[in-house]
Amino acid sequence: MDGLPIAAQDDSWEVAGRRFRSRLIVGTGRYKDLEETGRAIEASGAEIVTVAVRRVNLGDPKAPMLQDYVDPRRYTYLPNTAGCFTAEDAVRTLRLAREAGGWNLVKLEVLGPPPFLYPDMRATFEALEALLKDGFEVMVYCSDDPIAAKRLEEMGAVAVMPLGAPIGSGLGIQNPVMIRSIIENAKVPVLVDAGVGTASDAAIAMELGCDAVLMNSAIAHAKDPVQMARAMKAAVEAGRLSFLAGRMPRQYAADPSSPLAGLIR
Amino acid sequence: MEATIPISVNGEARQVPAAATLADLLAQIGLDIRKVAVERNLEIVPRSRYAETPLAAGDRLEIVHFIGGG
């Protein structure tokens, strides 16, 4: 962090009582192999990584596991409910995750059908209610709907995470107005989760005032994932600094940068 | 010959000795128990109780771990 202004060095954020310096959360899926996963995550500077919960392969019990390449003592594992299409499945999955990992901070996502896998908010509300009763601290993937986001917060979600575009689409932030509206009304952290395709998308999300950005495919499916992880780290930092600095006002005419006084005649 | 009972593990049918515990099964499969979680008939079995959890005929076990995901 050398060279950054003091304000940026102190610029941490908090979710569910845990404090983090990095505002980039990365997924651990879709990489070529576990070795590449480990290197890309290291390069991203992320402190939180999302992970999925799946059956172990009984035929190959000694196969390398994610923990061998992404150390859970170094990174905060955020178990997700990817692949769950009902509230019941989501709750069951996260109970197993809590037992496997020993912590209760989780990411809830209950998705609708392909091709958009858009958040199923009715099922999401139902799952959130059950998870909160069971003592989980829940970061919730949600639609870019200010009413839904507010309701999640009021129910007790520790963070709301609207999509910028469909999962894995890489289309960038399609809905800056609604994301901004969610941020302005929220008392819990707001993260853009899903939709980022390239570094400028991450910067845009941060310039809108998000607390952090969550991404997976934008890094894992880049031609060079480790290089893209570095780009995303820089973009999130740049977007955050830009948000804190406060952009100049837009105006629809030129305004010269050099003084007009003292011109030679 | 030792009597065995049928159980299901991650959807696969298996036979285990009638007196086996969950700890015995995990050792037989060869899993590092620090990296997995187990659900028995839809109930989580805490890691501390594997050795004192007997298996019963018809048990349905799910053994899971963390993998890469977004």
Residue A44 annotated as binding site: no
**B52 part of contact set with chain A, CB < 8 Å:** no
Half-sphere exposure of A95 (CA within 13 A, CB side): 21
* Model pLDDT for residues A187-210, shown as the tens digit of each residue: 999 999 999 999 999 999 999 999
pLDDT at position A7: 53
Q: With contact defined as beta carbons under 8 Å apart, do A57 and A99 qualify? A: no
Q: What's the pTM value of the predicted model, to 2 decimals?
A: 0.90
DSSP-derived letter for residue A187 is S
CA dihedral A163, A167, A169, A173 (to 10 degrees): 10
| The one-letter amino acid at A111 | L
Q: Are strands B12-17 and B37-40 parallel, antiparallel or unpaired?
A: unpaired
Cβ within 8 Å of residue A102, ≥6 positions away: none
* Model pLDDT for residues A149-189, shown as the tens digit of each residue: 999 999 999 999 999 999 999 999 999 999 999 999 999 99
* Interface touch A92/B35, C-beta < 8 Å: no
* Interface touch B69/A55, C-beta < 8 Å: no
- Please name the member of A34, A53, A66 whose beta carbon is closest to the beta carbon of B64: A53
Q: Closest-CA residue in chain A for B8?
A: A58
pLDDT at position A165: 97
Say yes or no to pLDDT of A5 above 70: no
Say yes or no to pLDDT of A253 above 80: yes
pLDDT at position A1: 46
pLDDT at position A9: 61
Residue A40 annotated as binding site: no
Half-sphere exposure of A152 (CA within 13 A, CB side): 38
Dihedral sign for Cα B62, B66, B68, B70, please.
positive
* Interface touch B10/A51, C-beta < 8 Å: no
Say yes or no to pLDDT of A234 above 50: yes
* Among candidate residues A264, A212, A208, A204, the one with its CA nearest the CA of residue A47: A212
* Model pLDDT for residues A108-131, shown as the tens digit of each residue: 999 999 999 999 999 999 999 999
> pLDDT category, A6, cuts 50, 70, 90?
low
**B19 part of contact set with chain A, CB < 8 Å:** no
- In order, the DSSP letters of A126-145 are HHHHHHHHTT-EEEEEE-S-
Which burial class, exposed, middle or buried, applies to A16 when counting CB atoms under 10 A from its CB (0-12, 13-18, 19+)?
middle
* Model pLDDT for residues A14-34, shown as the tens digit of each residue: 999 999 999 999 999 999 999
Catalytic one of A62, A107, A150, A223:
A107
